[in-house]
Structures are given as C-alpha cells and as structure tokens.
Amino acid sequence: MMYYIVTGAAGFIGSKLIEGLNRRGITEIVAVDNLAHADKFKNIAGCEIADYIDLAELPARLEALEGSVEAVLHQGACSDTMESDGRYMMENNYAYSRRLLEWCQDEEVPLIYASSAAVYGRGPDYREERACERPLNIYGYSKFLFDQLVRARLPEATAQIAGLRYFNVYGPNEMHKGRMASVALHAYQQLHAEGKVKLFVGSDGYRDGEQRRDFIYVDDCVAVNLWFLERRNVSGVFNCGTGRAQTFNRVAVATINAVHGTQATLQDLVGKGLIEYIPFPPALVGKYQSFTEADLSRLRAAGYPGEFMTVEQGVSAYVKQLQSQ
C-alpha cells in the first residue's frame, strides 16, 4: 500500500486537496494536522482517508512509513501574518518543513509544498527571483527561508521538490481562519450581519477600495497541485496566482451581486450604502500589500496549461456554496 501524506489536512487548501485526490479515486491518504481548533474536522468529515496523525507526532512516525509513501503534499503552517512569536513561527513553518524535506529526499519521495506571496512583501515585482523577495513579517520570512533552502537543494535533488507561492486564496473550507480568512468571506459575512461590506479607504496612492490583489479561487490552487503531482520531473519554486491583480471593490461588488442576484455597479452600491469605506488600521501601515500580481512566466514555461477563474466566477461559485450551507 502506497500512501499520500497531506499535512494541514483539515485546513483550507489541505482539505480541498484531499477532495481533489478523492475525486481521482485516491483514498490511501494519511491526513496530518493539529486539531486544537476542533471545528476544522468538518472540512474533512466528508473525505475518504486511510489514517490521521497529529502534526507533532508525524516526525516520529516517519520511520514506520519508509518505503510506503507515494508523495507528500505539505500544506500545514501557521499562516497568521500578525503572529508575533517568531520562535513558534520558525519552528512550525521552517524547521518542521526542513525535517520533511530531508526525509523526502532520503526516501526519494516527491514533496509539493505551500509557500506564499508574502515572501515578496510590498513588491512591486512578483517574480520568483531573490531580488524581488522582501518579506514584511515573520510569516513571510519563514516561507522565504524555506524556499531558499529548497533552491540550494535542487541541483542534487533525488526527487521532485515543488514550492507553490499562493497569492490571495479564497473559497470553501476557510471558515476556521477567522480574521485571516479571505476578503470574499469577510464581505459575505458582513453583508449578512450588517447589510453592507466594509473596505479600507485608499492607501499607497490607491483610491478607496482600489487596492489590488491577485485573488485565486481554491479549486484553481488544487488543480495546480495535482498537475505537479502528475509531473515528477518538474521541480522549483513557482507562483500560484491568476496573473491578474483585481480590486477589493471588484470582490465586494461580485459578492453583493451574487448574494442579491443583481448586476449593480460599484457606483450603485456605494450610493445605496452597501459598500462603506473605513479608516486604515494603524497596525497595518507599512506592512500592507496594496498590490500583488503573480508573474506566471515560470509556471507557464514549466507547461501548466490551466486557466484561472475571474473574481466574478469564483465569488459566484463560493456564494452558492455558502448559501447551500
């Protein structure tokens, strides 16, 4: 029996990855996570897995798994960009990942892992090059440092190592993320709780709500992971975004229109008080990405053919799912 190990299995992208593997008939999955926040179990309650291992126990259990692992999909991490405990962040995101990498290389097992657009800081260029990488927080630094380690190992790699730098991912199974959840989920929840969506006033030269991010629907991230899983000869660090910067206003408009079944414009919605601009939080000044846009040159050069959903397509699908719950 050959197993697929998925870390962060009950989390946002990890749980959707397991769904994607299940759709391909793969159920020999060892799910690895930390269920201190027990509600996350709901994300995998409908999935088929072979075993569950606590995140802290995996390193000790790896020896027993030698010779029986097909691939490791490493999604587990502390993703709170406001986390201030640097030791915890580096142990959780860097040291743990390093141990997994070493085991995978010893075992000649493919490792596909989650990196982040946070490595780029405030940009303005989002290419997978050292000159573009300027993390603004310890989360971004932990991801950056592991990418650097991977780059150093690639020339002598015994098996595939592929890092995916996720941009702003949104979609089902992120409810547990709280304040770190996507703009789309916050917009949906605000609309239901207060009857309007709140966005920040302008910053860094952008008008109110016109800050731009590369918003990518979670199913598109899963598709990229599964593509790499089928191409064991492709290694490296790759951006995982749509290649299109889209405004926060556009996400808010798409959410309101999807909920209300309308086709209103931004001007209409602001005029009706359905979008409100609020002051910029002092804690985020100088630490905020007002613009992100994945450069997909390297992903396309590797041969990835898939297209990515627009905000309107993704938000519409997401709202349908939220309403069905």
Among the options 96, 139, 188, 217, which is catalytic? 139
pLDDT score for 77: 86
Of 8-22, 125-139, 254-268, 280-294, where does mean pLDDT reach its minimum?
A: 280-294
- Cα gap 133→135, rounded to integer Å: 6
pLDDT digits (tens, 9 = 90+) for 33-74: 999 989 999 999 999 999 999 999 999 999 999 999 999 999
- Cα gap 30→65, rounded to integer Å: 10
| 304 counts as catalytic | no
pLDDT score for 40: 95
Q: What mean pLDDT comes out for the span 297-301?
A: 98
Residues 6+ apart with CB under 8 A from 91: none
pLDDT surpasses 80 at 84: no
pLDDT surpasses 80 at 80: no
Which residues on adjacent β-strands are paired with residue 93? Answer: none
pLDDT surpasses 80 at 286: no
For residue 287, what pLDDT band results from cuts at 50, 70 and 90? confident
| 166 counts as catalytic | no
pLDDT digits (tens, 9 = 90+) for 164-206: 999 999 999 999 998 889 999 999 999 999 999 999 999 889 9
pLDDT digits (tens, 9 = 90+) for 6-16: 999 999 999 99
pLDDT score for 312: 98
Q: What mean pLDDT comes out for the span 220-240?
A: 98
Cα diameter, the chain: 63
pLDDT surpasses 80 at 83: no
- What SS3 state is found at 33? strand
pLDDT surpasses 80 at 82: no
| Cis preceding linkage at 124, omega within 30 | yes
Rounded to a whole number of angstroms, the distance between the first and last alpha carbons of the chain is: 36
- Cα gap 252→9, rounded to integer Å: 29
Domains of the chain: 3-170+216-243+290-308 (3.40.50.720), 175-212+246-288+319-324 (3.90.25.10)
**One-letter amino acid of 104:** C
Among the options 52, 177, 198, 288, which is catalytic? 177
